[in-house]
Amino acid sequence: MTRSKYSLLDQLEQLLKGIAMMKELTLRTRDYLVSFGECMSTRIFAAYMNKLGKKARQYDAFDIGFITTDDFTNADILEVTYPTVAKRLNGDWMDDPAIPIVTGFLGKGCKSCAVTTLGRGGSDLTATTIGKSLGLREIQVWKDVDGVLTCDPNIYANAIPVPYLTFDEAAELAYFGAQVLHPQSMRPAREGGIPVRVKNSYNRHAPGTVITKSRDMSKSILTSIVLKSNVTMLDIVSTRMLGQYGFLAKVFSIFEDLGISVDCVATSEVSISLTLDPSKLWSRELIQQELDHVIEELEKIAVVHLLQKRSIISLIGNVQRSSLILEKAFNVLRRNGVNVQMISQGASKVNISLVVNDSEAKQCVQALHSAFFENGFLSEVEAADVPQNGSLNSNGAIYGN
């Protein structure tokens, strides 16, 4: 598996000739192919560091203990990785200190011993895995934005950085559309209790966003607004008698059998409204033929209404203040003439999700951001929370004058 810096290009040339000759590119071969770029760039960077007088040592992740499942293009890190990586990096540092330059998103299959890739967020996952292995006090992830923002700056230019997040908030943000961090990449840091700081490579003096296990939420209301577009929504109503036993179980068993992931759900005794995320279906967009098959199966037990071109607007924040968030949000949407078609709240302790038409979604995000973050809303809430004729003792009790 070890690759000499002199033989990398020769190996790549041989691999490409083999692919061209066989006219076939398996997932295993694809992982091996895409690994060359990372292996060469880290060698170049380590050489440049050494030229500058900063002693550095290059490592291929699959050679220092990154052991994964054999799910090519989307492998998962196995637990044996942590002690193995720690032993190798700590041992080398003790023998001959040098800055480790490690390839991102690569590993070695536990059974095949072939090169694997870690899928989306794999480079960040590599960083957090090393951080957990070495028990570091902080992990830094460098991006092209000033941390996690209050909304997508491509939707609304007035988005501002969020200074602090919990891992729960960051996971919800990522799951519902934020591109800064993938939930899977934060798992080792979360398990190890290590803070993750998101910094900007193009603005290194910006403080960024610090993600921790918990934070003081007493003054927090809304943290960020996330938009996920091109969502399919289904309204499913039971054709049987009221309270039909097992209706929910039957519906979700159909999605399980077809390998379909459900995003948001709202239920009553005989009806279910839910959304499907195209990107989670068979690693590509759901085509109409497959969607027709889903509906055909569901129509055996229910009446189904298909609603496409919908968007999920997720309000990530302090759900202990959900009444306040919803009051403000619905007032904003009403003034903009927008009807919410579905609301999902409760399963997540940090997320309220609203479903609207795709055509209205960006306008909604802009209006909501302006209302929550730009017009003195937080100051108004803080003023309203302070008793007019009394004071708080250390236990929170109010004493009047």
What pLDDT score was predicted for residue 180? 74
230: left (phi over 0), alpha (psi -120 to 50) or beta: left
- Token pair belonging to 282: 């068979």
What are the sequence ranges of the domains in the chain?
1-135, 137-215, 224-378
Give me the sign of the Cα torsion angle 214, 185, 266, 311.
positive
Provide the residue count of the chain. Answer: 401
pLDDT in tens, 91-143: 999 999 999 999 999 999 999 999 999 988 899 999 999 999 999 999 999 99
> Quick one: pLDDT at residue 184?
83
pLDDT bucket at 163, cuts 50 / 70 / 90: very high
pLDDT range class, residue 283, cuts 50, 70, 90 = very low
Domain 1-135 listed as CATH 3.40.1160.10: yes
Separation between Cα atoms, residue 357 and residue 359, nearest integer Å:
5
Average pLDDT, the chain: 86
We find that the CATH architecture of domain 137-215 is: 3-Layer(aba) Sandwich (3.40)
Residue 264: which of 350, 323, 348 has the closest Cα? 348
Who's near 6: CB < 8 A, 6+ residues apart?
A: none
- Which band of pLDDT confidence, cut at 50, 70 and 90, is reported for residue 400? very low
The pTM for the full model equals 0.79
Q: What is the mean pLDDT of residues 150-155?
A: 91
Percent of the chain whose predicted confidence (pLDDT) is above 90: 57
* pLDDT value at 5 more than 70: no
Find the mean pLDDT for residues 211-230: 88
337 has pLDDT over 60:
yes
Two domains, one topology: 1-135 and 137-215: yes
In terms of average pLDDT, the best of 144-153, 369-378, 385-394 is 144-153
User: What residues have CB less than 8 Å from 194, skipping those under 6 apart?
Assistant: 128, 131, 132, 135, 136, 137, 138, 139, 188
- Classify domain 224-378 at the CATH superfamily level: VC0802-like (3.30.2130.10)
CA distance 363 to 385: 30
Report how far apart, in Å, the C-alpha atoms of 253 and of each of 241, 242, 257, 274, 332 are: 20, 20, 6, 14, 38
pLDDT in tens, 57-83: 999 999 999 999 999 999 999 999 999
- Amino acid found at 110: C
**What pLDDT, on a 0 to 100 scale, did the predictor assign at position 318?**
86
CA distances, 376 to each of 202, 215, 369, 370, 387 (Å):
30, 23, 12, 10, 19
Q: In the prediction, which pLDDT does 57 show? A: 97
The pLDDT value given to residue 391:
43
Q: In 3D, which of 278, 274, 174 has the Cα closest to residue 224? A: 174
Residue 30, amino acid: R
